[in-house]
A and B are shown apart, each in its own frame.
Chain A
């Protein structure tokens, strides 16, 4: 079945440091890939997505590129802020007929210190 593997956390960085959170997946065909963010006490919010190979999703300074050859979708940000502290989830969306149903990684907790 489909699966998503994220780098284990927690990750602690100083403000303005470079962030990478690794994500690899196993799926039949070419699913859509997502990064979600979850702030304390809140639901999941979509951060960015990519729907086909070599697509780059980007939002709020975060980027991730859909790499078919390595089945990866690593999240990066050039300069993190304290407000980026949250849990980040990598996810994939199944193909038809169950499209929209998502498989999530276990999440990576990011703490950014001033």
Chain B
């Protein structure tokens, strides 16, 4: 399977703990996006990378959140000192280049539950 892969699929953590998610994009895609989706809503943009450069971060991305894409391949999203409001589905997507008509391919997401 050469699609976008996210791990883990599910994560349950206690409030205050740190968590890290991984995304492996489609290999030839140089753009990688992170979104957050809460129940009953559409995905909300968090941040995106072109190769290893983080080009934009949403206001939603508080200082407890950090994302990296060190070699321009896989990416990690870390949440420090988790809060119950962080419970959501975290989606990763990748695309080839930055053309507006380029399709973004989504992974299956990581569902985070903070208890």
Contact = CB atoms under 8 A, between A and B. Distances in A.
B87 interface: no
B101 A49 contact: yes
Contacts of A44: 43, 91, 93, 106
Interface string B71-115: 000000000000000000001010101111111111111000000
Interface size class of B (residues with CB under 8 A): 20 to 34
Contacts of B42: 4, 89, 91, 104-107
A45 B101 CA distance: 15
A4 B95 CA distance: 21
Contacts, number: 78
B33 interface: yes
B108 A42 contact: yes
B106 A98 contact: no
Contacts of B108: 41-43
B45 interface: yes
Q: Which one of A4, A31, A43, A89 has the greatest number of beta carbons of chain B within 10 Å?
A: A43
Contacts of B41: 106-107
Interface in A80-114: 89, 91, 93-107
B57 to A, nearest CB: 11
Interface of A: 4, 31-32, 34, 36, 41-46, 49, 51, 89, 91, 93-107
